[in-house]
Structures are given as C-alpha cells and as structure tokens.
C-alpha cells in the first residue's frame, strides 16, 4: 500500500506545496522540494513556527506574497502603482510562496536568468528594487499585534550592472513611410499622431475627446492631459500640427470618449505583436530597397523612439530648447498649460515645422486613409 497522504500537502508540477490552516492561520506556500519526506519536515517546522508565534510571541514567518499584497494595498495612491503591480506579477511565480526569510539573491537568481533573455538590466532592476523596498518595510516598519517586525533583518540585494543602455533611434522620413506601410491601419494612425505630437505611449492610448480644448482665435484645438495621467505629475499640453489634425479628422466620431480605438474598443498599448512584426518587416523592406544590411535599431524600434523622432525633428527645424521642452512635456517649473492664444500660436507654428514637405505629408495621410478605408 502507498503511504498515507499528509494533510495540507499537495503535489503540483512535481513540487510539494502547502495549503493548511494552523491555529486559524492559513499557510499557502511551496516547500521548494519534490521529496515528500523533506516536504513533510518543512511543513512540520512551519506549523511549529506558527504555534511558537501564537503561544509565545515568536515572530512568525510570512510569505512574500502576503508582503506584496500589503505593499500594494498601502500604496494605491501612488501614480506608479500599476507599474509596481505589473513587476510584482512577474516576480511572484518565483518568490511569492517563499517566506520573507528565504527571499535573497540566491532565490532571485532564476528570475534574473529567465528575464535576461527578454528584458534589459534596467528593467530587471526595477523589479528587484520593488523586492528590496518590500523587504525593508517588512524589517523596519510593518509590525504584528505583538510589536514584532515582519522580518528581523532585510538582506542586501544585488542589482545588475546596467551596461546595455540603448541609444535612441530617431526615424528618418523614409523609414517612417516604410513603418506606416507595414502597420495595421489603427496603429499607423497612432504612430503618425505620436511622431507629430511627442506624446508618451500611455498618453496616446488613453487620449480622450473631453481633454480637447478649442482655441477659436486660431481655428484649432489642443489637448490638455490631466496631471493624474502624466508621468511627471504635471498637466500636459499637446499641440496638434496639420498632420496630427488630419489623423484626428479620420478618427473623430469612432468612439464617444476615446480618440484611438480598435474594433470599437479603446486601445491599451501601441507595443504589441503587430508592432513587433511591422518594425521587422519595415526594416527588412527598407534594407532590401537600399541593398544594405538590416538596421538593428530599426528592426528593434521602441515606441519611445517616436518621441525622440519628434524631438530631433523639432531641433533640426531650429525650434528653441524652451519651446521643445513645452512640446515634449518635460518637467519645467516655468511651464504652464494656461497659455494665451498668441502663445499657442507660436507653439503651433513650431510643430508645423515638422510636418515634412507636402509630398511626404500627402503620401503618409493617403497611406493611412487607404489602410483604414
């Protein structure tokens, strides 16, 4: 006969996991082993830890999952909480079930190795810094009903050397045409708007019609994005040039609240599988037309490179640094979104310098109209 099943232990994907109530406290974590005897010993230790903590005031072990949940609940007011939640979601499969005392460089190694194939060191470090923040809170601030901190001492976590920083890749006018041709119609509209306004990706995806402000004196309008939707926490003025205005004319009326949509639903991201395919196709087509090697920068074009493209074109057109800061939405204590019509007129003249010549502008808009027809 087989061995009697141990209550509270479950074998999942070859590893024993705990799911058991002990003195009204639920334990849900991995034992980290596929050996049943070792798992039973680990469970016995965890049960004894809880008894000691409950009866004699000894600090109980809490899982990183519990600590991450507490961190998110306490920081819902942060503008970056969605980013923190996304990073924690990526980390939890690796360390979520571990007690806080077992979260250290060694147990984070597998996460780092797996993510290095797809993420930059800086991005991985962003996740590690969230872990470090949570462990420090557990060791210094968070206390149980008996006054004990959640963790006796926070370990020192090692961050990766950031040696893979990539230089911006501003698009040439010709590369822009190849990219627009390769993109689906709704993404091409978004790209053309972004490269002519310099908005960030999330500002673009969440752009709303009720943020549009009419300027009757100039027979135009601007968008004022509220600070709660802006990375630097300041209201963001978006001045719309002739090309971006033509894009707005194409999408106006498609949705009652959001500017950019796909099949009647608001878009959530510009960076998706269609973007990834299009940038490779565009880079290959461009290289073939010029009988040269495929540009790595073009084939791996980032969404943020479109903002760099806008900024580079403003500079090449002789637009002053102060004006470029306004148009790019950079933090500046002297900048306000409460502009007079003449001031907006000056900004409008500046952004119209980067529309390209008439043939380029006409070709881009005709291409977009054909795709969305």
In degrees, to the nearest 5, what angle opens at C-alpha 148 toward C-alphas 143 and 149?
55
Query: How far is Cα 19 from Cα 43, in angstroms, rounded to an integer?
Result: 10
**Do the Cβ atoms of 135 and 154 come closer than 8 Å?**
yes
Long-range Cβ contacts of 148-156 (<8 Å, 24+ apart): 148/57, 148/59, 149/59, 150/59, 150/62, 150/67, 150/100, 151/62, 151/100, 151/101, 152/59, 152/101, 155/103, 155/104, 155/105
Query: How far is Cα 166 from Cα 186, in angstroms, rounded to an integer?
Result: 28
| Fold category of 173-372 in CATH | hpI Integrase; Chain A (1.10.443)
Question: Whose structure tokens read 């709704």?
Answer: 186
H helix runs in 17-104, sequence order: 36-56, 64-74, 81-95
96-131 per-position pLDDT tens digit: 999 999 999 999 999 999 988 778 888 999 999 999
**Do the Cβ atoms of 16 and 36 come closer than 8 Å?**
yes
The ranges assigned to domains in the chain are 9-56, 64-140, 173-372
Helix (H) or strand (E) segment spanning residue 14: none
Q: Which residues of the chain are under the pLDDT cut of 70?
A: 1-4, 52-59, 145, 164-165, 331-338, 358-373
**Do the Cβ atoms of 50 and 92 come closer than 8 Å?**
no
**Do the Cβ atoms of 326 and 338 come closer than 8 Å?**
no
Q: Which two tokens stand for residue 182?
A: 């390769």
> What's residue 211's pLDDT?
96
> What's residue 132's pLDDT?
96
Q: Which two tokens stand for residue 314?
A: 């403003």
40-96 per-position pLDDT tens digit: 888 887 787 777 666 655 667 789 999 999 999 999 888 889 899 999 999 999 999
> What's residue 55's pLDDT?
61
> What's residue 365's pLDDT?
63
> Strand pairing of 212-215 and 25-30?
unpaired
Name 63's bridge partners: 99
**Do the Cβ atoms of 197 and 238 come closer than 8 Å?**
yes
> What's residue 249's pLDDT?
95
User: Which residues, other chains included, contact 101 with Cβ-Cβ below 8 Å and sequence gap of 6+?
Assistant: 61, 151, 152
Q: Which two tokens stand for residue 231?
A: 């990375």
């Amino acid at each position: 006969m087989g061995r009697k099943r141990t209550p509270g232990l479950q074998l999942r994907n070859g590893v024993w996991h705990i799911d058991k109530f002990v003195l009204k406290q639920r334990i849900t974590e991995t034992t980290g082993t596929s050996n049943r005897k070792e798992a039973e010993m680990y469970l016995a230790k965890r049960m004894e830890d809880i008894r000691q903590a409950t009866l004699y005031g000894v600090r109980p072990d809490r899982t990183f999952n519990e600590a991450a949940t507490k961190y998110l609940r306490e920081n819902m007011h942060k503008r970056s909480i969605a980013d923190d939640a996304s990073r924690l979601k990526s980390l939890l499969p690796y360390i979520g079930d571990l007690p806080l005392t077992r979260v250290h460089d060694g147990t984070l190694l597998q996460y780092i190795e797996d993510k290095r194939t797809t993420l930059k060191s800086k991005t991985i470090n962003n996740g590690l810094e969230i872990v470090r923040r949570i462990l420090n809170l557990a060791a210094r601030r968070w206390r149980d009903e008996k006054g004990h901190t959640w963790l006796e001492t926070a370990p020192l976590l090692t961050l990766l050397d950031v040696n893979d920083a990539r230089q911006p890749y501003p698009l040439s006018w010709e590369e822009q045409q190849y990219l627009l041709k390769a993109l689906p119609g709704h993404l091409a509209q978004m790209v053309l708007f972004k490269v002519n306004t310099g908005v960030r990706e999330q500002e673009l995806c969440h752009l709303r019609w009720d943020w549009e402000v009419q300027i009757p004196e100039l027979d135009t309008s601007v968008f004022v994005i509220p600070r709660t939707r802006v990375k630097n926490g300041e209201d963001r003025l978006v001045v719309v040039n002739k090309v971006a205005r033509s894009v707005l004319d194409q999408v106006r009326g498609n949705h009652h609240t959001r500017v950019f949509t796909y099949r009647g639903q608001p878009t959530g991201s510009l960076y998706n599988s269609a973007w990834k395919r299009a940038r490779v196709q565009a880079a290959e087509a461009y290289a073939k037309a010029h009988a040269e090697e495929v540009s790595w920068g073009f084939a791996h074009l980032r969404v943020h490179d479109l903002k760099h493209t806008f900024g580079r074109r403003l500079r090449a057109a002789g637009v002053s640094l102060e004006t470029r800061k306004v148009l790019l939405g950079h933090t500046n204590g002297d900048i306000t979104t409460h502009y007079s019509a003449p001031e907006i007129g000056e900004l409008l003249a500046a952004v119209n310098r980067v529309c390209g010549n008439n043939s380029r502008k006409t070709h881009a808009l005709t291409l977009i109209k054909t795709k969305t027809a």
